[in-house]
Structure 1
Amino acid sequence: MAEESTPLIISNQTGATEGFYGGNNANNYYGDGTVEGADEVPPPYDHSAAGVPMVTCRVCQTMIDISGKMEQHVVKCAKCSEATPIKNAPAGKKYVRCPCNCLLICKSRSQRIACPRSTCKRIINLTPAPPNSSLTVAPGMCRVVCSHCNTIFLFNTLTNALARCPNCRKVSSVGPEYARCRGLVFAAASLLALILCITLLTTTMQYAYTHSATYIAYIVAFLLLALALYRTIYYCSMKVSLVEGPV
């Protein structure tokens, strides 16, 4: 188990554990090593007769003195050596308690994490958000399967834009139509830029011998052609994310 001052370990994109402080809010252990888990929130502070701030250990229920430790996110119990959070998790993170009592911290959007303890190694399925959420769903919001990492995320299909996956941060087209239309637009732009370059070269070749500034126009025209060709290839080779269904 890591000490409270140990820096968090950066996680990978599969939702692996970012850090652990090593309660059984995660329960329902299955024989295949997979469990269902729930987020853990810090317990309320208590005060002894002497006014010392204390919290109850989430594992053995022992009272822990947290005076002088208020800047920490978790504290270690002297009796069971397990950790209990005393602050909310950092932004974008959440606490999860493994059945082995190890306190884990992971990304708030993670759906599966692995306990890092060598004696455990359980895979924890995190409790999904309740379906009857009070959040207002915008028109056109659909679940999209990322073509890069296969993560499901929400995207407004009425938005005329590319989709950026919140997990892998890569861009894709939601459905083939958007990428195909943009590819055709830039293909037409490439053709027009090519015609412009040819026309400019054939009509100003003799003039350019005496006016060197004409070469600047050549450079601009070829840059426009290169940019249009690049965007054409970009959209034509772009991966397509599929719409799984409405929210």
Structure 2
Amino acid sequence: MEERNPLLSHQGNYGTSNQEETSVSAVGPDELPPPYTPSPSGVPMVTCRVCQAMIDISGKVDQHVVKCVQCNEATPIKNAPAGKKYVRCPCNCLLICKGSSQRIACPRPHCKRIINLSNPSSTLAGGTGGNPSSSLHHVPGMCRVTCAHCHDTFIFNTLNNALARCPHCRKVSSVGPEFARCRSIVFLVPGLVCVCIGAALTITTLQYTQTYPGIYVAYIVAFLIALILFYRTLYYCSMKISLIEGPL
């Protein structure tokens, strides 16, 4: 997805990343291209939005972004395509995303933070060692979680009473064993009840099936519901458990 890809995938782009959110304060979501600044010789130039160096864009005016030769970071020289917008991650990685996107993930391996575009000043630490937004400190139940699938760290509210979907690998897991255990019991008990009802119904009405063949439908429904409930029980029992590292 474009929301997860840097505009210039060059290894040098990753060399200046910094996990601190204060590493980039002058740029942010919905970044606009800087104006052209002609040099004394008439060569079109733009200012790098990261290191403020001048970038020669002669012969590159048809591109949407250019790379700075000093810091290897991307700077836009054209407005984003229709329906898109530029977003600068605090690690300096420039991304492009849909104009309606609310959250995007930085693809850099040692960053992987989640950028909340509904509140540009709020970024969630996606990789280990990142600093979450201070505004999240006041949200009850908000904590750091290590994904059971990809072992990356993300932020999750344990009061949601729901499964957690990792923003990095997009896989679902239970945050702590308690949620999966409770859900498995919730499905196991009705499943056993349906089995008992089906068995009792079979024993007490089997002699009437020749006269009333529709009774077979009741057997099928009772045992089918029990099978579905047991499947959900097995699903939660075998679900991977993401570990809670601690509150923010």
TM bucket normalised to smaller: 0.5 to 0.7
Displacement of 1:144 in angstroms is 0.9
Match of 2:57 in 1: 64
Partner of residue 192, structure 2? 191
Q: Secondary structure at the match of 2:198?
A: helix
2:145 maps to 1:144: yes
CA deviation digits over 1:122-160, x for unaligned, max 9? xxxx99765564456421101111111111111111222
Alignment-derived partner of residue 75 in structure 2: 85
Q: Name the SS of the counterpart of 2:229 in structure 1.
A: helix
| In 2: Cα distance, 1:127 partner to 1:148 partner | 15
CA distance in 2, matches of 1:83, 1:246: 34
Code of the residue aligned with 1:222 in structure 2: it is F
In structure 2, the partner of 1:205 is: 206
CA deviation digits over 1:206-231, x for unaligned, max 9? 32223332222222112101011111
Which residue of structure 2 aligns with residue 55 of structure 1?
46
Judge which range, 131-140 or 235-244, deviates more.
131-140
Give 1:213's aligned amino acid: G
Distance 1:109 1:22 in 2: 15
Amino acid in structure 2 at the alignment position of 1:109: C
- Number of residues paired by the alignment? 207
Which of 93, 103, 108 is 2:105 aligned to? 108
| Corresponding position of 1:45 | 35
- Residues 22 and 104, structure 1, Cα contact 8 Å, conserved in 2: no
In structure 1, list runs of 5 or more residues that go unmatched: 1-6, 12-16, 28-34, 98-102, 115-125
C-alpha contact (below 8 Å) 1:157/1:174 kept by paired residues: yes
Instruction: Output the amino acid matched with 1:194.
Output: V
Select between 85-94 and 134-143 the one with higher mean Cα deviation. Answer: 85-94
Please tell me whether the aligned partners of residues 87 and 94 of structure 2 are also in contact (alpha carbons under 8 angstroms): no
Determine if contact 2:14/2:108 at 8 Å carries over to the other structure.
no
State the distance in 1 between where 2:128 and 2:147 align.
21
Q: Taking structure 2 as the reference length, what is the TM-score of the superposition?
A: 0.62
Q: Secondary structure at the match of 2:159?
A: coil
TM-score by length of 1: 0.62
Q: What is the letter of the counterpart of residue 85 of structure 1?
A: T
* 8 Å Cα contact 2:175-2:242 kept in structure 1: yes
Percent identity (aligned): 43
Pairwise CA distance, 1:172: 1.5
Q: Distance in 1 between matches of 2:173 and 2:14?
A: 38
* Letter paired with 2:150: C
C-alpha separation between the residues in 2 aligned to 1:91 and 1:43?
9
The answer to whether the aligner puts 1:74 opposite 2:51 as a matched pair is no
Q: Which protein is richer in strand relative to its size?
A: 1
8 Å CA contact 1:111, 1:128 repeated in 2: no
Shift of 1:186: 1.9
CA contact (8 A) 1:92 1:108 kept: no
Change in Cα spacing, 1:85 to 1:217, as seen in structure 2 (3 Å) is same
Structure 1 residues 48 and 187: alpha-carbon distance in aligned structure 2, compared to 1, 3 A threshold: same
Gaps of 5+ in 2: 97-103, 112-126
Tell me: CA distance 1:177–1:144, structure 2 relative to 1, closer, same or farther (3 Å): same
Q: 1:55 to 1:21 in 2, by over 3 A?
A: farther
1:123-202 aligned within 5 A? 133-134=134-135, 137-202=138-203
Cα displacement (A) at 1:43: 5.6
